[in-house]
Amino acid sequence: MLIFKPYRFPLNAVFLFTCFLILGCKYDNEEDLYPDNSCITIDMSYSNDISPILQNYNCISCHNTVNPQGGVNLEGYNKTKVWVDNSRLTKSINHSGASPMPKDQAKMDTCDIKKIESWISDGARNN
């Protein structure tokens, strides 16, 4: 048994090195690997999905009841629905309207845009 001891460390080192190598080379860009499965957009809920997205991109910081920039209030379902119904929300987040949103920033994540669009095409329910 003793005779194998000196080899333990190098073998472990080789094993670990191989693990790191494999991990390092792993191609794990989800959107590229699973273009259809990575973004779940079915059955979107206003309160669980859409409202948090609008919060995350600071839409509400600029578009709230106290200070609705550009006259746009996105605080709560009823106010948001106005901008859904006049199509300006969809245009703004796709950067296809006069006012690309979020203002002075890159487009939202494609998956988040898809989620909002799916919620809208399902009738933009207060769910």
DSSP letter at 70 equals G
Of 11 and 95, CB closest to ligand HEC: 95
Within 10 angstroms of residue 9's Cβ, the number of other Cβ atoms is 9
Length of the chain: 127
Q: Does 102 bind ligand HEC (CB under 6 A)?
A: yes
Distance of closest approach, residue 52 Cβ to ligand HEC, in angstroms: 12
Q: State the Cα–Cα distance between residues 94 and 110, nearest whole angstrom.
A: 9
Q: Does 120 bind ligand HEC (CB under 6 A)?
A: no
Q: Does 52 bind ligand HEC (CB under 6 A)?
A: no
The site for ligand HEC, by CB under 6 A, has a size of 23
Distance of closest approach, residue 94 Cβ to ligand HEC, in angstroms: 10
Q: Which amino acid is at 56?
A: N
Of 31 and 70, CB closest to ligand HEC: 70
Judge residue 115's burial from the number of C-beta atoms within 10 Å of its C-beta, 0-12 exposed, 13-18 middle, 19 or more buried: buried
H helices, E strands: number in the chain: 7, 0
Among 34, 52, 70, 95, binds ligand HEC (CB under 6 A): 70
Residues that bind ligand HEC (CB under 6 A): 54, 57-59, 61-63, 69-70, 72, 83, 88-89, 91-93, 97-99, 101-103, 108
